[in-house]
Each structure stands twice: as C-alpha cells, then as structure tokens.
C-alpha cells in the first residue's frame, strides 16, 4: 500500500511542507535555580562593591555637577571675547586660587573660629542668665528657655561631644586631612572635566544613532545649559546670603561670624528652606550674645529674605528651570537622609533636571501625539 505524503497546496511539492517544530528545551529546575542564585550573588557583590566605592562615586558626581555649574562661567568669558582655551585657563586658575585661599587663609581661620565659639558661647550664656529679664522669661516659658540654653552650653563644653565628632584630636585631624584630600580629588576631576567638557559631550552624542542624534543633541544641550544656569544661580544666591550674614553678624558683635557665614553658604545652597534654616541659627547665636542683637539679626534677615525672593532670585534665576517648593522639600529630605548635606545639595539639581526633561521633552511629545 502506497503511503500518502502531504503536499504544498500551491506547488504540489511534498518537500515544501515544513516539518513540525520541536519546542525549545527548557533548563531543568536545578539549572534554573543555579542561574538565579548566580544572578543574586552577582547583584549582591555589585551592590557591595558600589557601596565600598560610594565616596569615590559621590566625588565624581560632585565634580560633574561642579563642571556643569562652571560651564556658564566659561561661556561668560567667551562672550567677553576670550577664546575657548583662554576661558578654560582662566576658570582653572580661579579654581586653583580658590584652593590656595582655602588652605592658607580660610582653613586656619575656621579652626580659630571654632576655638573661639567653644570658649565664648558658655560665657555668653552665663551673662545671659545673669540679666534681670531672664528669670521671668524662663518662668513664663515653663523653663524651656533655660533648658535649651543649658543643653547648648553642656553640649559645647562636653569633651565627649568633640570626641564623638572626630574620635578625639587624632580623629579630627584625620577628618580634616580626609576632607582636604577629597576636596583636591574633586577639584582635579573638575579641572579635567572642564577641559574635556565639549569633547566628552560630542563623544557621548556619537553613541546615539545618526537618525536621532540631532534631536537628542538639541534636547541634551538645552537641558545641560539650563541645568548649569540653575546650579550657578544657586551658588550666586548662596554667596550673597553668606556675605550679608557675615557682615550682619560682625556688626552685631556675634562671635564666630565668619564660620557661621561659611556654614550659611552651604546651607543656603538648598533653595526655599536654606535661608530659613540659616536665619533661625543666626538668630539663636545672636540672641545668646545679646537679646537686642538677636532681634536686630532676625528683623534684618527677614528683610533680606524678602529682597532675595523678589529682587535677587528673579534676576539670577530668570533663565533657569523653576522647581516647585514641594519637590525642593522632598528632594532635600531624601538626599539628606541618604548622604547628609551634600546629598541634599545634589538631589535638588537632579530633580531640576528631571523636571526639565518632563517639561521640554515629555510634555511636548505628548502634545504632538
């Protein structure tokens, strides 16, 4: 009996009919579990490695942020008829001069100011308690004022606090050396990134397919340009705040005015809440020195906050991306929880970049779709 073979209905050729495909073999349970285990172990090792390198990675991020923030300064020199090379050299020399000033002038002065605060604040608190109005005010507040002042005095004079800050004198010295080393590492990276900024961007753009490269380049340049304007604007506003705070505290006779001004510079890099925090801290230090000084500092800082909000910020940040206040608070809290004050400073510009991408890329694309 002749066996019938299936034929292709179009050509009638039996060979044209494909044989049924066999399903691909799947790994057994043991092999699958082994692969999953290897992936989990690899993820854990990668996470531990990144955690061990967190300080280096964070320094690289800070250097990148500093590079983007300094790029508007380079372009400002270029608009003043500087060539690109001379603009880069000028900015690099400014960075070097800033580092030299920190080592030879600012750092010794900060150490002197810390010693002055540690000695003068307990004496100021004793003088404050000896004034006639203190006891009635303390009774009216149910002892809250006295408790707060006693806590401040005990914390400043307690050797355990200073030992915990840096594990003793040796720890403080090592912390200072580590901070200087990290600062030099970030500065050197920043100088290198500034010198190769345009070349690095062009190399990164070449990773994008040629058909999409012009659009991607246009959006990336806009984002980086606005990002740099935002960072440089925040630095300018923080500098104004620090200078005003230092002059105000010096006129009020508050000890450690220069140190408080430096701290105010870094805190006021956090928009919206930075100036409020520095105003509270300055008022407390001025009040310990003299109630009249505290009242004067509070009133003048409130006036400065209005000037900053309605005069300085619109002029400095007019061309930068605007961040909603809720996003500022959430970013500052999240970054501060993870990495402290530097984390809060880095998290807010990242949020600004995300908002800029949403407003300049996502929303226009949705409108066209």
In the prediction, which pLDDT does 6 show? 54
115-149 burial: b if 16+ Cβ within 10 Å, else e: eebeebbbebbeebeeeeebeeebeeeeeebbeeb
State the Cα–Cα distance between residues 171 and 358, nearest whole angstrom. Answer: 45
Per-residue pLDDT of the chain (369 residues; tens, 9 = 90+): 555 555 555 555 555 555 555 555 566 677 777 788 888 888 889 888 888 887 788 788 888 888 888 888 888 888 888 888 888 889 888 888 887 877 777 777 777 777 777 667 777 777 766 666 667 776 777 777 677 776 766 666 555 554 444 444 444 444 555 666 777 788 888 888 888 888 888 888 888 888 888 888 887 887 788 778 777 888 888 899 999 999 999 998 888 888 888 888 888 887 777 888 899 989 988 888 888 888 999 999 999 999 988 888 877 776 666 667 677 778 777 877 777 666 776 777 777 778 777 877 788 878 877
State the Cα–Cα distance between residues 215 and 20, nearest whole angstrom. Answer: 47
Helix (H, G, I), strand (E, B) or coil at 345: helix
Give the torsion sign (CA, 336, 274, 309, 244): negative
In the prediction, which pLDDT does 13 show? 54
In the prediction, which pLDDT does 302 show? 93
In the prediction, which pLDDT does 296 show? 92
User: Alpha carbon 83 to chain centroid distance?
Assistant: 31
Gyration radius (Cα) of the chain, Å? 30
């Amino acid at each position: 009996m002749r066996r019938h073979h299936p034929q292709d209905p179009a050509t009638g050729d039996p060979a044209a009919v494909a044989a049924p495909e066999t399903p691909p073999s799947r790994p057994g349970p043991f092999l699958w579990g082994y692969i999953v285990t290897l992936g989990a172990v690899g993820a854990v090792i990668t996470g531990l490695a990144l955690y061990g390198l967190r300080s280096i990675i964070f320094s690289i991020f800070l250097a990148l942020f500093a590079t983007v923030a300094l790029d508007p300064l380079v372009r400002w020199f270029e608009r003043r008829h500087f060539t690109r090379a001379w603009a880069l050299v000028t900015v690099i020399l400014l960075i070097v001069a800033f580092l030299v000033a920190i080592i030879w002038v600012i750092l010794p002065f900060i150490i002197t100011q810390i010693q002055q605060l540690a000695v003068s604040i307990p004496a100021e608190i004793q003088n404050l308690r000896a004034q006639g109005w203190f006891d009635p005010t303390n009774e009216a507040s149910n002892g809250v004022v006295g408790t707060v002042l006693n806590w401040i005095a005990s914390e400043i004079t307690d050797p355990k606090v200073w030992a915990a800050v840096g594990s003793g004198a040796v720890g403080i010295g090592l912390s200072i050396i580590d901070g200087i080393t990290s600062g030099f590492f970030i500065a050197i990276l920043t100088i290198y990134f500034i010198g190769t900024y345009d070349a690095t961007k062009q190399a990164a753009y070449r990773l994008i397919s040629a058909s999409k490269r012009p659009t991607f380049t246009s959006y990336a340049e806009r984002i980086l340009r606005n990002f740099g304007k935002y960072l440089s604007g925040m630095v300018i506003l923080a500098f104004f705040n620090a200078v005003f705070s230092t002059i105000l505290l010096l006129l009020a006779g508050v000890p450690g005015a220069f140190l408080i001004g430096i701290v105010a510079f870094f805190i006021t890099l956090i928009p919206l809440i930075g100036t409020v925090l520095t105003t509270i801290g300055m008022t407390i230090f001025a009040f310990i020195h003299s109630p009249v000084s505290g009242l004067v500092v509070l009133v003048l800082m409130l006036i400065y906050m209005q000037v900053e909000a309605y005069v300085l910020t619109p002029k400095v940040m007019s061309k930068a991306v605007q961040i909603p206040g809720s996003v500022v608070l959430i970013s500052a809290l999240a970054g501060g929880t993870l990495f402290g004050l530097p984390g809060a400073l880095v998290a807010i510009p990242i949020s600004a970049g995300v908002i800029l991408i949403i407003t300049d890329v996502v929303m226009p694309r949705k409108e066209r779709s």
